[in-house]
A and B are shown apart, each in its own frame.
Chain A
Amino acid sequence: MGRLLEVEDLRTHFFTRAGVVRAVDGVDFSVEKGKTLGIVGESGCGKSVTALSIMRLLPTPPARIVSGSIRFDGRELTTLSERELEDVRGREVAMVFQDPMTALNPTLTIGTQIIEVLRRHLGLDDRTARRRAAELLDEVGIPRARERLDDYPHHFSGGMRQRVVIAIAIACEPRLLIADEPTTALDVTVQAQVLDLLDDLRREHEMAMILITHNMGVVAESADDVAVMYAGQIVEQAPAHELFHRPEHPYTEALLAALPDLDDSDARSRRLTAIPGRPPDLIDPPQACRFAARCPYAGCGDSCALEPPALRELRPDHRVRTAHPASEREAVTA
């Protein structure tokens, strides 16, 4: 299985009046053909900015990809012209956004919005495009697809709208689908359906997928590989199973520990574990390890207080950015 997408040392900064926000500051990951990479992290860690950077959808003042490389199927995306990008977007790489309520144009029928992407990339004529659009709606689970083509977005519920957005995204059979918190704005019951839908579609159309979320549960369900992001950097990446059973980074451990455990009867009467402190200010991030302030293992004289830890491969396919990975810690009380 080859690597479809390779991101290397990506840095995207926002140049605002208040200062330079280093939203993505050294992100490395890769996605394999036909597999799902889950990117987890708390709000503000830079997950969305990473996704938007790949598609180059950030407003270019104030944002800018300062350095790094994004290679899609061997092709460098950061140096493409706008016109060339227009050919990639929607056709090779597609995106599903977080808020279905605002992602669709309220004054156009959803039929129009699906057909326009079919005509743009596949050059279909009106009738074929319409037929294909109905098929797509059907595939994403919208009943009476044919009739609903002429409806407007406000005729659909949130979950339905998200399905429409997904239909538009897969319309031209992209090889990579980026889903940025696709279920965050939806009810819990609908969330599961949408995730299942994405999974089915991925397998059907042999797409690779990047699934961005702050919800560990979602990632556990759907991802093959997982990357954990913190303060603009990837701090751990491993296959899903591996990450959940043998986490290395203190942050990952803390995230997993924070999950409520319904099986443990003791746990029900205890308080939920939270991670103390807050993420660092991205205008002036710490020079050394960014998690150090909240890390239970960081000591004063440790290397992580002096210089940023590098992303290193602890085990095959398991990379960590910390001075205190679990497997290197002595079994000493913290």
Chain B
Amino acid sequence: MAAYIIRRVVWTVPVVLLVIFMTFTLMKQIEGNPFRKTERAVPAAVQANLERKFNLNKPWYVQYVQYVKGVATGDLGPSLVLRDRTVNDIVEEQFPRSIELGLLAFGWAVLLGVPAGVLAAMRPNSRFDYGSMLFSNVGFALPNFLVATLLIYFVSVKWGMLPTSGWTTWQHKILPSFTLGLVPMAYFARLVRGTMLETLQQDYVRTAKAKGLRRRRVLTVHVLRNSLIPVVTAAAPLLGYIITGSFIVENIFAVPGIGRYYVTAVSARDYSVVMGLTVLLSIIVIAANLVVDILYGILDPRTREART
């Protein structure tokens, strides 16, 4: 078991380096030297100074190594547009809000989606089943900016129950997190229903029943446990959605988080921030994948011995 974990962890290092490399290369493609192309004209001498300060006159591989060193020590570099702030400053300020948004969204998804899936599987083809699956289908299809707009329109404007935007009190946090959590909720409902139905068909469930075990035990120990394993592994791709969705949700609800800032940075051509944020997000996704893999190893003993 420990060997499995260590193996997985060790493998992430080259993956992270590769990701940084790719992002780095991409960024270099966009702007060889961002300072030359900014709108505000920069005097030549100042420009030369800036270039030297930021190592922009060194060959790319040197820059890459510098950057990786920076990432490893937690320094993501300076902002190119906001001259007095570093990327780290921005991250420290905005990132926690995005994390909170993401976690709350995930919470909604698990709280509402998983039970819905379980109940649907236990009453297949019932009205609840059809209803919840229809709901989940719709949840996938509606673009979240529409959901956000509708929610704001009805809940905030018409009924005045919750604030329209911002991120200060807990009331502010309900709508954005719910909106963001809608798709994961739908996803979980479907997934849990599917895996439960499949598990219920398995021979070992029949064996459990044949042993005369009480229904509740058969459900919790044999069925649910095995059904929830795929759900855990689904958490990783969901993270991708949450990141993507946060760009929109933060935008609409004016949540001062990373998602919103990313868009701002791209429009403002602050490429150092863009790169820093991309690397950060990538590391998070990779870390999440790692955690999921480890969890999977804990939950399903068969995977532990397979070669990675």
Contacts and interface: CB of A to CB of B under 8 A. Distances in A.
Nearest to A90: B212
A108 B226 CA distance: 10
B203 A103 contact: yes
B63 to A, nearest CB: 49
A95 interface: yes
Interface stretch (A80-88, A309-317, A319-327): A80-88
Given A107-B299, A165-B207, A116 B212 contact: no
Given A106-B300, A106-B302, A154-B301, A57 B213 contact: no
Interface string B37-51: 000000000000000
Contacts of B217: 116, 120
Contact of A82 (B203, B215, B299): B215
Contacts of A97: 203, 206-207, 210
Residue from B207, B225, B229, B300 whose CB has the most chain A CB atoms within 10 Å: B207
Interface string B290-308: 0000000001111000000
Contacts of B7: none
Contact of A86 (B212, B226, B299): B212
Interface residues of B, number: 23
Interface string A110-150: 00000011001100000000000000000000000000000
B308 to A, nearest CB: 18
B305 to A, nearest CB: 8
B126 to A, nearest CB: 12
A94 B208 CA distance: 11
B226 A105 contact: yes
Interface residues of A, number: 29
A168 interface: yes
B211 A108 contact: no
Interface string B209-232: 111111101000110011001000
A55 interface: yes
Given A108-B221, A152-B301, A154-B302, A103 B214 contact: no
A91 interface: yes
Contact of A91 (B207, B212, B215): B212
Contacts of B214: 86, 120
B202 interface: yes
Contacts of A105: 204, 207-208, 222, 226
Residue from B211, B221, B301 whose CB has the most chain A CB atoms within 10 Å: B211
Contacts of A116: 211, 213, 217, 221
B301 A89 contact: no
Nearest to B223: A105
Contacts of A89: 209-212
A86 B301 contact: no
Nearest to A112: B221
Contacts of A106: 204, 226, 300-302
A94 B299 CA distance: 29
A86 B221 contact: no
A323 to B, nearest CB: 39
Contacts of B202: 102
A104 interface: yes
B300 A121 contact: no
B302 A152 contact: yes
Contacts of A86: 212-215
A57 B202 CA distance: 13
Interface in B187-215: 202-204, 206-215
Given A57-B209, A95-B210, A117-B211, A107 B300 contact: yes
Given A86-B214, A117-B212, A120-B211, A104 B204 contact: yes
15 contacts: A55-B210, A57-B209, A86-B213, A90-B210, A90-B212, A91-B212, A97-B210, A102-B203, A103-B207, A108-B222, A120-B211, A121-B212, A152-B301, A154-B302, A168-B211
Given A86-B214, A107-B225, A117-B211, 5 more contacts: A57-B210, A95-B210, A105-B222, A116-B221, A120-B214
Interface of B: 202-204, 206-215, 217, 221-222, 225-226, 229, 299-302
Interface of A: 55, 57, 82, 85-91, 94-95, 97, 99, 102-108, 116-117, 120-121, 152, 154, 165, 168
